[in-house]
Amino acid sequence: MLIAVWIVSGILAALNLFAGATKIATPREKLQKNMAYVEDFSSWQVKTIGALEVLAAIGLIVPPLTGILPILAPLAAAGLVVLQLGAIIVHVRRGEQKGIVVNIAILLLALFVALARFGVFGAL
């Protein structure tokens, strides 16, 4: 189980690090070409979402790896669940069914990591 949690955590961390860094580094106008939903948010909101994704990516890996504040890992995963719920709501409101599938998959992976790191499936 521990190996599965690490693999899923690594996948989530990589996805969110890339997505978050892209949102932080790319001007909102350029993001709109590939992420139409961005038009519903201000530049600072998009950058904040990106920062939350980067922080979650770090929180999934660094605390359990170092043993320093390991409680941050399940909290980061839970934060990703909340972030994905928000993304699903935005995509539903905009009628973007394609985006919902990806968000649901990420939500389920993050939920798995959160539950596993909180010890729901037993001690890791």
Query: Each residue of 33-72: pLDDT tens digit?
Result: 999 999 999 999 999 999 999 999 999 999 999 999 999 9
Which sign does the torsion angle of CA 8, 69, 58, 49 carry?
positive
What pLDDT shows up at residue 90?
95
Query: How sure is the predictor about 8, in pLDDT bands with cuts at 50, 70 and 90?
Result: very high
Query: Each residue of 67-93: pLDDT tens digit?
Result: 999 999 999 999 999 999 999 999 999
Q: Which residue blocks in 1-124 are alpha helix, DSSP H?
A: 2-25, 28-31, 43-66, 72-94, 97-117
Q: Using a pLDDT cut of 70, give the percent of the chain over it.
A: 100
The amino acid that residue 40 corresponds to is: D
CA-derived radius of gyration, the chain = 15
